[in-house]
């Protein structure tokens, strides 16, 4: 692919990612207006649990499958079937655990019994995420980045239609039912995204793998060792981050309840920061994800072919683009926080926080490409160590400063951990390039 075609391809990914994120934002706007701030705060309260479940139900297989297939395209069938059997087994176990532990999590960990219905709704989400994750990984490994990007539009579009069509039924329901409705909308998105990938792939995906499923139940046909060698350190890295995120509202509740605040007040304030302010600040992450999806298979392929110069060019081009676009968007957030909040949410609550956090959040936009570059070098263990250190820092900040800064401590802890994670990963990427340069000279 020449420079002109590459630039056009990256631009198309950004445009697709923008539309997907625009529809996602529309989903959040319609959802928040439909279920109200009370139910939205409940949904936000269980979001860390959803992220944790997605981490374990996907097992980092989009990244793992994409990396392995990009390096060994001749073994794509074996890699895919191995990933499928592994991940669906884990999904079944998780579904059973969450169903029976839902009331315990709601009452004893989140201190809000209204969240039970939404937690149980996650049981349906788990296998759907598992299935879509390995299918996306397969197509990413075959450089079908545009197809997976379009599938995000299909996912968000189906969610929006579901929310609009069924919002009337849930309007008169209690907050716990409305929060569960928000989880069901995620399930609908996963179903339609997977359907799109299977139906609109250029190759006959189902026909190609039907016979393989029958013939694959022999030990030599599986690639578990290769998958686990990448998946375990990568999943552990993400699991540490997800677990830290899961502990976030638990620690917040424990600390602020001791300070005299009520559970409902804490949930509401947490909902405003994590449900309105933070999503707005993280919104531009769509371009970072889109470009990182291009970076991972192409950089892994370049490294596999010992073309380190090309790998370095891809890395710095993608990371620099993410930093530039993130800076421009942060400038807009800083100048027009009230207007943007009013336009999107019909409220100016939290706009001061948007202005304060706008420029510090620039670092977030380069976190994904730097992390993916490490995985392309098969340095997932390095990423795990960085995540572990940054997560420890995050928990420490929450414990030490929550009583003083209250809910705003969440933003401080998020930024501090992100800066440390990016710094450590970036150093490791530079060291990896340097090692390959030395090997080339020798």
Q: What is the pLDDT of residues 187-242, one digit of tens each?
A: 999 999 888 888 876 555 555 555 555 554 444 456 677 777 777 777 777 778 78
Domains of the chain: total: 1
Q: What integer pLDDT is reported at residue 75 of this predicted model?
A: 74
Q: Cα 138 vs. chain centroid, distance in angstroms? A: 18
Nearest to 389 by CA among 436, 350, 423: 423
Whether 161 shows a pLDDT value over 60: the answer reads yes
Whether 61 shows a pLDDT value over 50: the answer reads yes
Alpha carbon distance 122, 49 (integer Å): 9
Q: What integer pLDDT is reported at residue 264 of this predicted model?
A: 79
Q: What integer pLDDT is reported at residue 442 of this predicted model?
A: 43
- The three-class DSSP label of residue 260 is coil
Q: What integer pLDDT is reported at residue 438 of this predicted model?
A: 52
pLDDT band at 428 (very low <50, low <70, confident <90, very high): very high
Give how far Cα 80 sits from Cα of 68, 83, 217, 229, 259, Å: 10, 5, 13, 15, 51
- Token digits of residue 297: 């298979």
DSSP of 304-336 = HTT-HHHHHHHHHHHHHHHHHHHHHHHHHHHH-
| Cβ(55)–Cβ(384) below 8 Å | no
Mean pLDDT, residues 148-152? 81
Range of the domain at 103: 3-441
Count of beta carbons in the 10 Å neighbourhood of residue 95: 19
pLDDT band at 100 (very low <50, low <70, confident <90, very high): very high
Whether 301 shows a pLDDT value over 80: the answer reads no
Q: What is the mean pLDDT of the chain?
A: 81
Residues 6+ apart with CB under 8 A from 39: 175, 176, 178, 179, 182
Helices 224-258 and 76-104: angle between axes, nearest 10 degrees: 20
Residues 6+ apart with CB under 8 A from 214: none
- Token digits of residue 318: 């993608």
Alpha carbon distance 29, 24 (integer Å): 9
Count of beta carbons in the 10 Å neighbourhood of residue 31: 23
Residues 6+ apart with CB under 8 A from 217: none
The sign of the torsion formed by the CA atoms of 383, 281, 296, 325 equals negative
pTM: 0.71
Count Cβ atoms within 10 A of the Cβ of residue 51 and give its class: 0-12 exposed, 13-18 middle, 19 or more buried. Answer: middle
Report the range of poorest mean pLDDT among 103-112, 226-235, 315-324: 226-235
Alpha carbon distance 352, 337 (integer Å): 7
The sign of the torsion formed by the CA atoms of 193, 198, 203, 205 equals positive
Q: What is the largest CA-CA distance in the chain?
A: 71
Q: What integer pLDDT is reported at residue 349 of this predicted model?
A: 80
Whether 422 shows a pLDDT value over 90: the answer reads yes
Alpha carbon distance 193, 188 (integer Å): 9
Q: What is the pLDDT of residues 247-275, one digit of tens each?
A: 888 888 888 888 888 877 888 888 888 87
- Token digits of residue 28: 């959040």
Percent of the chain with pLDDT over 90: 19
Q: What integer pLDDT is reported at residue 7 of this predicted model?
A: 61
- 210 or 330: which leads in pLDDT: 330
Q: What integer pLDDT is reported at residue 344 of this predicted model?
A: 77
Nearest to 224 by CA among 69, 52, 48, 80: 80
Alpha carbon distance 49, 280 (integer Å): 20
Nearest to 48 by CA among 298, 329, 326, 252: 252
């Amino acid at each position: 692919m020449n420079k002109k075609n590459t630039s056009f391809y990256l631009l198309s990914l950004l445009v697709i990612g923008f539309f997907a994120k625009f529809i996602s934002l529309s989903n959040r706007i319609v959802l928040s207006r439909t279920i109200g701030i009370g139910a939205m705060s409940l949904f936000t309260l269980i979001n860390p649990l959803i992220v944790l479940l997605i981490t374990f139900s996907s097992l980092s297989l989009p990244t793992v499958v994409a990396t392995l297939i990009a390096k060994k395209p001749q073994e794509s069938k074996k890699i895919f079937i191995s990933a499928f059997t592994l991940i669906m087994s884990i999904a079944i176990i998780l579904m059973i655990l969450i169903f029976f532990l839902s009331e315990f999590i709601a009452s004893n960990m989140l201190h809000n019994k209204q969240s039970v219905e939404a937690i149980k709704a996650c049981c349906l989400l788990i296998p759907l995420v598992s299935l879509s994750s390995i299918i996306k990984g397969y197509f990413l490994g075959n450089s079908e980045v545009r197809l997976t990007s379009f599938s995000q539009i299909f996912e968000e579009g189906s969610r929006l239609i579901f929310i609009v069509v069924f919002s009337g039924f849930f309007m008169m329901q209690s907050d716990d039912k409305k929060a569960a409705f928000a989880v069901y909308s995620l399930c609908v998105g996963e179903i339609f995204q997977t359907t799109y990938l299977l139906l609109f792939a250029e190759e006959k995906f189902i026909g190609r793998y039907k016979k393989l499923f029958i013939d694959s139940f022999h030990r030599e046909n599986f690639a578990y060792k290769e998958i686990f060698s990448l998946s375990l350190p990568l999943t552990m890295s993400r699991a540490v981050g997800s677990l830290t995120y899961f502990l976030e509202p638990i620690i917040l509740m424990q600390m602020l309840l001791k300070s005299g605040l009520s559970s409902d007040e804490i949930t509401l304030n947490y909902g405003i920061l994590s449900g309105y302010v933070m999503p707005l600040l993280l919104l531009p992450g769509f371009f970072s994800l889109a470009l990182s999806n291009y970076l991972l298979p192409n950089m892994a392929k370049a490294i596999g072919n010992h073309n380190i110069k090309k790998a370095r060019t891809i890395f710095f081009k993608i990371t620099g683009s993410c930093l530039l676009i993130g800076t421009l968007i942060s400038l807009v957030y800083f100048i027009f926080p009230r207007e943007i909040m009013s336009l999107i949410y019909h409220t100016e609550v939290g706009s001061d926080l948007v202005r304060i956090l706008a420029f510090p959040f620039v670092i977030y936009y380069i976190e994904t490409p730097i992390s993916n570059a490490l995985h392309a070098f098969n340095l997932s263990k390095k990423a795990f160590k960085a995540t572990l250190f940054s997560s420890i820092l995050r928990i420490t900040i929450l414990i030490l400063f929550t009583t003083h800064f209250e809910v705003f401590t969440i933003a401080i802890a998020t930024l501090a951990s992100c800066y440390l994670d990016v710094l450590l990963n970036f150093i490791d990427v530079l060291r990896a390039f340097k090692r390959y340069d030395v090997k080339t000279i020798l």
